[in-house]
Amino acid sequence: VETTEFVDLGTVKVALPTTQAIQLLNRGKYDVAFNFKMAKKLSEVIKLSPMDGVLKPKDKASVELLFSTKKEIVLNNNQELDIHFSEPRTNEQIGAAPMPISVKAFFNKYLLTPAHGINFGPCLFNAKKTATFEITNQGPFEIQYRLFSLKDGLPVDTPPIVDEKDKKGAKKPPPKKGDKNATQQELVIGKFAIGPSSGLIPVKG
């Protein structure tokens, strides 16, 4: 039986489920049963569907591997997942092989400077004064940000997060008619105007 040799999910975001297919092919002349077994700790972050089955001669099967974690984790050529083969009628073991898995799961990380508010100092009456703050991307993923007034609550038209793999070649949706936020780059809260109010911060940006 031929199988996918290893699973490399790359670098993914914590709490964002990631899937990959494991391919199986029975090149023999007889039916072969397969069954995946993994360590308990690994089963907390990885689910397989189906976990077992029977391959007829020249038959193919695709097993979906789902990875999902709520905390940062790094698996480097982890070999706690095995696939076992047996004779379907007698359950006689034919063989087994490890299915190495590699994945790095991280949170988005950013640094806000200054961290404890902005001090404009003395200001002349009826005169404008500018101050700045910085959002630094310290993680391995791009960060979308959008400023809003806490008094008004979360914006109803907050753009969805787009995965880096999916956004390549994807066209941006046209702005909705009558949507002021579609073109507005400045957020006004009382006497303060902040801009740009939204944007995309690249890795190490």
For the residues 113-133, what does the mean pLDDT come to?
Answer: 89
> What are the pLDDT digits (tens) for 186-202?
899 888 899 999 999 99
Q: How far apart are the first and last CA of the chain?
A: 47
Assess contact for 192 and 202: CB atoms under 8 A: no
Please indicate whether residue 156 or residue 46 has the higher confidence score (pLDDT): 46
| Count of residues in the chain | 205
What pLDDT is stored for residue 13 in this prediction? 95
Task: Tell me the CA distances in angstroms from 5 to 31, 48, 79, 106, 112, one per residue in order.
Answer: 21, 16, 12, 25, 43
Of the candidates 35, 37, 4, the one whose C-alpha atom is nearest the C-alpha of residue 22 is 4
> For residue 110, what are the β-bridge partners?
137
What pLDDT is stored for residue 171 in this prediction? 46
pLDDT bracket for residue 31 (50, 70, 90): very high
Rg of the Cα atoms in the chain: 26
Beta strands in the chain (DSSP E): 2-3, 7-13, 18-25, 32-38, 46-49, 52-55, 60-67, 73-78, 81-86, 93-98, 101-106, 110-113, 134-137, 143-146, 187-189, 192-194, 198-201
